Structure 1
Amino acid sequence: MPIPFPNLVTNREIPLVEVVPQQIYTLDGVLSPCTLKDLLAWSSSLSLDPPKPPAKGEAERTSRRAALPSSEIASSLLSILSPYLARLDPNLKQPYLLSPNIRIYHYPPSSFFKPHYDTPQLDLTSRRLSCWTVLIYLSDGVRGGGTTFHLDTHDLPIKKNKTKNKAKMKMGEEKEKEKEKVAVTVQPKAGRILFHWHGIQRGGCLLHQGDEVLGGDKWVLRTDVLS
């Protein structure tokens, strides 16, 4: 039997950390330890669906999960996130809204989510598309289980080279450089909130994956910011 969704108690306002400009940001320590404990208890009380074989074109995911429509939970989450949304994305439409499609993911040991893209989803009530994925990590003691993004090197901020021999780079070298990839991993620390872009501008969502959980149980609460 599910227990009621808890009241959310926040700590003082903290800095929003930029991981990749306009793409990946994190917040640590917004939720109080008591609130995290209550959120984990609430999540654990839900009836979760077992993993299903992926449909054609879908990435394999071996987590348990639940989805529940709740504008009340979305409003409660918005109350703690709204102070950060202007800094996250100055172009967001106001009033700020979160998706009422609330999702809970449980990744036990050996579970994972293979590389995939998130896509904008239409909220039928507001007629607004989702644009930022919001993942709230609820559990501590997790080994592995990071959220890893696969980027081209040109997605990362690079210091300008003041030397003038850039023009001498051969075309083949330039093409090879364009193909270089780098992985950025956000670890699932309890209380960490991860924002990552999946809107229709800025090239869309970055390819990302849920790394295999090597130990412990990873619990995640998800909603989305609406554009």
Structure 2
Amino acid sequence: RICSYQCGGHFAPHLDGGHTRSKVDASMQTFMLYLNSSDEFEGGRTRFFDETQGAYRAPDPAKVVCTYVPQRGDALIFNSALMHDGEALQGGEKWIMRSEVMHAVQPSAKRGDDQGPPAARAESTG
């Protein structure tokens, strides 16, 4: 899907829901493609929070662990279980394309299970 944010627009802290097509085909990562750059708008950064930030609650700057400043053409791929937001836009217009990265989970002979995709784990590298 393609999303547009106008001045004042934002997306409160949240986890992405993902998408499951079958027991062995599910998304565990979000894919965001930035369609314009931060020099075309003010604010609008993508921020990642620690595990104490509540979903759909006011963002607490003290809980931000990583901030990404959008640049046209950049792709950001992250675990869907990471708490993140789209910071309020102070001016201009921001455009993104958002989708999921689908994973086909192969049953493991060593584990002996075919119970479907593993639980998404929140990991931060930045």
Q: Distance in 1 between matches of 2:12 and 2:64?
A: 17
RMSD of Structure 2 on Structure 1 (CA): 2.0
From 70, 79, 84, the counterpart of 1:197:
79
Tell which structure's C-alpha radius of gyration is larger: 1
Letter in 1 for 2:98: R
Deviations 1:114-146 (A, max 9, x none): 11111231136x961111100000013121101
Alpha carbons of 1:212 and 1:182: their partners in 2 closer, same or farther (altered >3 Å)? closer
| Structure 2 alignment gaps of length 5 or more | 52-61, 104-126
Deviation at 1:151, TM superposition (A): 2.0
Alpha carbons of 1:190 and 1:107: their partners in 2 closer, same or farther (altered >3 Å)? same
Structure 1 length as normaliser, TM-score? 0.37
Deviation at 1:187, TM superposition (A): 1.2
Contact 1:134 1:193 in 2 (8 A): yes
Q: Does 1:208 align with 2:84?
A: yes
Q: Which has the higher helix share?
A: 1
Deviation at 1:219, TM superposition (A): 0.4
Instruction: Quote the sequence identity (%).
Output: 33
Match of 2:29 in 1: 132
Q: Distance in 1 between matches of 2:5 and 2:21?
A: 27
Contact 1:109 1:217 in 2 (8 A): yes
For 2:8, what is the secondary structure of its paired residue? coil
Contact 1:142 1:188 in 2 (8 A): no
Match of 2:47 in 1: 148
Q: Distance in 2 between matches of 1:222 and 1:181?
A: 24
Q: Distance in 2 between matches of 1:213 and 1:117?
A: 20
Structure 2 length as normaliser, TM-score? 0.65
Give the total of aligned pairs. 91
Q: Distance in 2 between matches of 1:211 and 1:225?
A: 23
Q: Which has the higher strand share?
A: 2
Letter in 2 for 1:188: P
Q: Which has the higher contact order (CA 8 A, sep 6+)?
A: 2
Deviation at 1:182, TM superposition (A): 3.9
Alpha carbons of 1:142 and 1:181: their partners in 2 closer, same or farther (altered >3 Å)? same
| Structure 1 alignment gaps of length 5 or more | 1-102, 153-179, 199-204
Runs of 4+ displaced beyond 3 Å: none
Q: Show the 5 A alignment for 1:145-184.
A: 145-151=44-50, 181-184=63-66
Contact 1:108 1:216 in 2 (8 A): yes
For 1:119, what is the secondary structure of its paired residue? coil
Deviation at 1:181, TM superposition (A): 3.9
Q: Distance in 1 between matches of 2:92 and 2:71?
A: 12
